[in-house]
Amino acid sequence: MVDAAPVDPARRRGWAEVDLGALRHNAALLARTVAPAQLCAVVKANGYGHGSVAVARAALAGGARWLAVAVVEEGAELRDAGVDAPVLLLSEPPAGAMDEAVALGLTPTLYTAEGVEAASLAAARRETRTAVHVKVDTGMHRVGADPDGAVALALAVHGSARLSLGGFWTHLAVADEPAHDFTAEQLRRFDAVLGRLEAEGIEPGLVHAANSAGALAHPASRHGLVRCGIALYGHVPSAELAGLGPVAELRPSLTLKARVALVRELDAGERVSYGLRHRLERRGTVATVPLGYADGVTRRLWAQGAEVLVGGRRCPMAGLVTMDQLMVDCGPGAAAAPGDEVVLIGRQGNEEVRAEEWAARLDTITYEVLCAIGPRVPRVYVGEGDAHGSPADATDSHPSVAAGAARPR
């Protein structure tokens, strides 16, 4: 892997500014909140669009003890960058990827007999003993073994010469809805399975059930480890949790910015963008901004009344967002000029557009808004440098950030 080349400011038309200090702060806040449980920073999906390596380093510096990813390739990226913290694979790797998972020192999650066999064979081929976590499905019905199957898998791991049971876990389906009684039911089911393991004389290792919402709203779910994703990035898992004490201290860590590319004065009655659906009601200044739906600025944001910040003011989008550009109605006589900074998500002056606002307009969740920011948008890191001494302004148009240790084979 080659070191990331800094993005030339003179060529930068749009970028995502990631505050490493905010990430460290959020990790430290979450670690204090859930103690004595350990914090696992979820950095899958390119760190929710923030850059997985930079997020991992900042989270570890803030107090996270574990990292979590979805697939082996994401774990490999961390190892390639020299990140040596424990990394949990949240889904069972395909048999063909198990050798690499073991070679990289990742911790596989298992929930099938085939997965146990593949992990055991991979460990045997490397003449090592590999710790794994077994996942039980307590009602979300996405992945995980049913309770009887999970006990059987734990017994198989316990009896294996090449595997050890490093953890046992489940995932909460409605923890972000505090009034919903199903979280308590899931935890009851989870406790029942843990009781069965104890009756079999099996030590479950690191027990975990809590995601961000569970960690914040359901203390009983914390056990020995909590897996925090969206809260790590400074966002509340749901509006219903906004009043919780720690939530007020979270700091959003990403700002999506661009620079005005072109400005024109248009008369009242002129129409803008594809389909000519947006009609100017009065003469005004329209600015073209070089980010579009290929960059994660969803096409229909205009129809939902979305606004951006120009000169510290809220200005509405003008017409459908196109693949590479969007237009903004800056109003009559506006002083907007090419090169002016535009904030699509984040703060400018006294105004702020939060990712939650986009999510509400689009009838989706903040997670999707952040993860949708495309790979051609450079990530620019500001704030405190990470614990490994990387420069705070490191930038890269690819999800990875910097070179590190060679990948073990």
| Beta strands 66-69; 87-89: pairing state | parallel
Structure tokens at 188: 């009851």
d(CA 340, CA 335): 10
Per-residue pLDDT at 391: 33
Q: How far is CA 110 from its chain centroid?
A: 22
| Beta strands 66-69; 109-110: pairing state | unpaired
In a domain, 399, yes or no: no
Dihedral of alpha carbons 138, 139, 143, 148, sign: positive
d(CA 337, CA 341): 9
Say yes or no: 129 and 169 in one domain.
Answer: yes
Dihedral of alpha carbons 114, 120, 126, 128, sign: positive
Say yes or no: 200 and 287 in one domain.
Answer: no
Say yes or no: 118 and 47 in one domain.
Answer: yes
Per-residue pLDDT at 399: 33
CATH number of domain containing 77: 3.20.20.10
Burial class (CB in 10 A: 0-12, 13-18, 19+), 339: exposed
Per-residue pLDDT at 239: 94
Assess contact for 254 and 17: CB atoms under 8 A.
yes
Assess contact for 382 and 392: CB atoms under 8 A.
yes
Domain extent at residue 274: 260-373
d(CA 77, CA 35): 29
Give the three-state DSSP class for 253.
coil
Assess contact for 228 and 241: CB atoms under 8 A.
no
In a domain, 135, yes or no: yes
- Per-residue pLDDT 10s for the chain (409 aa) are 233 445 554 566 899 999 999 999 999 999 999 999 999 999 999 999 999 999 999 999 999 999 999 999 999 999 999 999 999 999 999 999 999 999 999 999 999 999 999 999 999 999 999 999 999 999 999 999 999 999 999 999 999 999 999 999 999 999 999 999 999 999 999 999 999 999 999 999 999 999 999 999 999 999 999 999 999 999 999 999 999 989 999 999 999 999 999 999 999 999 999 999 999 999 999 999 999 999 999 999 999 999 999 999 999 999 999 999 999 999 998 999 999 999 999 999 999 999 999 999 999 999 999 999 999 999 999 996 543 333 333 444 333 322 233 333 3
Assess contact for 18 and 382: CB atoms under 8 A.
yes
- Based on the structure, what is the number of domains in the chain? 2
CATH number of domain containing 299: 2.40.37.10
Paired with 164 in beta bridges are 131
In a domain, 246, yes or no: no
Helices (H), 71-159: 72-80, 95-103, 113-125, 147-158
Say yes or no: 45 and 109 in one domain.
Answer: yes
Say yes or no: 63 and 210 in one domain.
Answer: yes
Burial class (CB in 10 A: 0-12, 13-18, 19+), 312: exposed
CB atoms within 10 A of CB 159: 9
In a domain, 284, yes or no: yes
Specify whether 274 is catalytic.
yes
| Global confidence as pTM | 0.91
Say yes or no: 300 and 157 in one domain.
Answer: no
Say yes or no: 218 and 343 in one domain.
Answer: no
Specify whether 44 is catalytic.
yes
Say yes or no: 213 and 265 in one domain.
Answer: no
Q: Give the H or E element holding residue 40.
A: strand 38-42
Annotated catalytic residue within 44, 111, 367, 381? 44
Per-residue pLDDT at 6: 53
Say yes or no: 101 and 222 in one domain.
Answer: yes
Burial class (CB in 10 A: 0-12, 13-18, 19+), 333: exposed
Q: Which residues of 206-227 are buried (b: 16+ CB within 10 A; e: fewer)?
A: bbbbbbbbbbbbbeebbbbbbb
- Residues whose CB is less than 8 angstroms from the CB of residue 151 and which lie 6 or more positions away in sequence, other chains included: 193, 196, 197, 200
Helix 52-62 and helix 72-80: axis angle, to 10°?
Answer: 70
d(CA 394, CA 15): 13
Structure tokens at 112: 């099938």
Say yes or no: 74 and 207 in one domain.
Answer: yes
In a domain, 249, yes or no: no
Cα–Cα distance list, 256 to 16, 145, 224, 380, 397 (Å) = 4, 40, 35, 10, 14
In a domain, 254, yes or no: no
Structure tokens at 143: 């992945």
Annotated catalytic residue within 111, 233, 274, 381? 274
